[in-house]
Amino acid sequence: MFLVLLSVGLIAPFTFLPLPQSTPTEEPVPVIPKTVKKVIKVVEQPLHKVILPDFAKIRDVKEKKRRFFAFIKPAVQAENKKILILRAEVARLIAQLTLEQPFSAEEYTLVSSLSKKYKVSEKFSLLRQLYELQLKIDIIPLALVLVQAANESAWGTSRFARIGLNFFGVWCYRKGCGMVPGSRNTGAKHEVAAYSSISLGIARYLHNINTNGAYTVFRSIRGQLRDQNQPLAPEILATGLMRYSERGIDYVLELTDMIRHNQHYFALYNK
């Protein structure tokens, strides 16, 4: 009996031990390879075939200025020369009309064509049309054009200068006429015009200054200087460009400062 109890006592405690549980096998976590996004940088191609100096790589400031002014100057001089030839023709027509000499059919056609191009109302009398044309068909001094080009294009390094030969930030409003500014507001439709040649870009800039209502003051100052037989001083004319930039007077002060500091580069060409 004692042996039975002893055996039961030895066995009983083990009957309450928890049965060993099988360890669940863990399923391997699939390793998802990291996908590295390949960033493809799109290089914007020029909208022209002109070979431009790489102004950004010219580290010497004096050399950069010299190269930039030398690059822009010939086109400015050529376009101003065309304007002076046309201006002389308008002066001839004014003298002819003043002397009461009749116009030919070709001369009437010329006045009509110029009035359309320079936004002069054909409802004006013939003499008034000619005087309005004389006010608008005139040059812009080389020094002023050069510093504006330098200012607006960051010395030829801006995207608009490199891609579209637009050194003056001139806008256009037809879809596809130029380059869409990265900072353009939502809903805005303007583009920065692109040109096929330096000469065309200069011509459009000059025409904009000579016809846009924003620069009436500029043309008035220029006209007064002409009436007084005074030189077209670029520092004086710059005051008529307040509306060229949102910066207003600060923009004008910057232009006049640039004219003074760069005088030795173009002193011979201030016409």
Summarize pLDDT for 74-106 with one digit per residue, the tens: 999 999 999 999 999 999 999 999 999 999 999
Whether residue 236 is contained in a domain is answered as yes
Give residue 5's pLDDT: 39
Give residue 44's pLDDT: 79
Whether residue 45 is contained in a domain is answered as no
Whether residue 17 is contained in a domain is answered as no
Band the pLDDT of 22: cuts 50, 70, 90.
very low
Number of domains within the chain: 1
Mean pLDDT of the chain: 87
Question: How far is it between the farthest Cα atoms of the chain?
Answer: 158
Summarize pLDDT for 27-56 with one digit per residue, the tens: 555 556 666 566 566 677 878 889 999 999
* CA dist., res. 187 & res. 69, Å (int): 37
Ranking 25-34, 176-185, 261-270 by mean pLDDT, the lowest is 25-34
Whether 194 has a pLDDT exceeding 90, the answer reads yes
The tokens for 11 are 């066995």
Whether residue 23 is contained in a domain is answered as no
Whether residue 185 is contained in a domain is answered as yes
Give residue 4's pLDDT: 41
Mean pLDDT of 223-229: 98
Whether residue 116 is contained in a domain is answered as yes
Whether residue 221 is contained in a domain is answered as yes
- Alpha-carbon dihedral 83, 84, 86, 87, rounded to 10 degrees: 110
Whether residue 135 is contained in a domain is answered as yes
Q: Structural domain of residue 219, as residue ranges?
A: 55-263
